Amino acid sequence: MADTRYGSLSTPNSGQIEMSDIEGRVGQLEADGERKKTGGSNQLIMNENEIEVWTPTIVMERFIRPCFAELFGTMLFVFVGSMSGLATASDQALSVLVAALAHGFAIAMLIAGIGAPSGGHFNPCVTIGVYMGGAMNLIMGCLYIISQLIGAICGSALVLAVLTTEQFDSINGGATLLGEGIATDKAIGCEWILTMILVSTVLQAAVETKSSNLAPLAIGLAVLVDILAGATISGASMNPARSFGPAVVAGIWDDHWVYWVGPPAGAICSGLVYRLLLASPDKRWILKED
């Protein structure tokens, strides 16, 4: 009997893939209702057990729509966060409060409003945490992060477009900067802890409990509290994309590498703690349910 595994299609006589074999297999899948026609040109992709039909609609739903949601949401988040710096640039305490409220409410609104296609990450560290939590694959994770970085640059470019040069310079283009006199190791530690708070909230409120309507609010409050706690130390970025976009547009790279060390480290730690201890038995790496 012919072996029908991918890469091993053969006939008893020739040992080569015959078009009739493929046509017969497709016909069988059609008869069993396992192959759906979605219109337009399509391509058959074969794996061990099935032939999957890829159409423009499938590509749109699986890749374009969620990646655009991440790009668009991150763009708006960076725009709102950067613009909030104009409100009280001369008063540090009030500036921190305004920034915390703007970022916290913005992320909650964006997750609830346009996060459905992608899950509303808008942050590479959230994507890292969700990947480690087992809720997405590596390829989509990489596509999300690329989309977020592009969106952050677009958001910062919008800030530059709507402000005067003097206004843009007064807020350093929306860049996240270390507090005065703060050493980089202290800033990395601060970003690490703040990001653990944020990503742990995401994992528990949105990954562990997928149906929770309070997830956007919980995540927004985590961002708000983190900024209140750490803005004067590290800038409370918790989000490499949020720091990257303004750095590119404004050309301010002072200690920028801190935001690519501390936040991802915090996200990885949160993912490990979740999969080892905090996840439900079916999602844990150890002592799982039988």
Task: Share the mean pLDDT of the chain.
Answer: 86
* pLDDT tens-digit readout, 221-267: 999 999 999 999 999 999 999 999 999 999 999 999 999 999 999 99
**From CA 238, how far away is CA 75, in angstroms rounded?**
16
Mean pLDDT for the stretch of residues 11-34: 45
User: How open is the CA angle 274-277-281, to the nearest 5 degrees?
Assistant: 95
Say what the pTM is. Answer: 0.82
Burial 224-247 (b: 16+ CB within 10 A, else e): bbbbbbbbbbbbbbbbbbbbbbbb
* Residues 249, 157 contacting (CB under 8 angstroms): yes
Give the angle subtended at the CA of 273 by the CAs of 272 and 274, to the nearest 5°. Answer: 90
Alpha-carbon distances, residue 172 vs 42, 83, 146, 214, 246 (angstroms) = 49, 11, 24, 34, 8
Length of the chain: 290
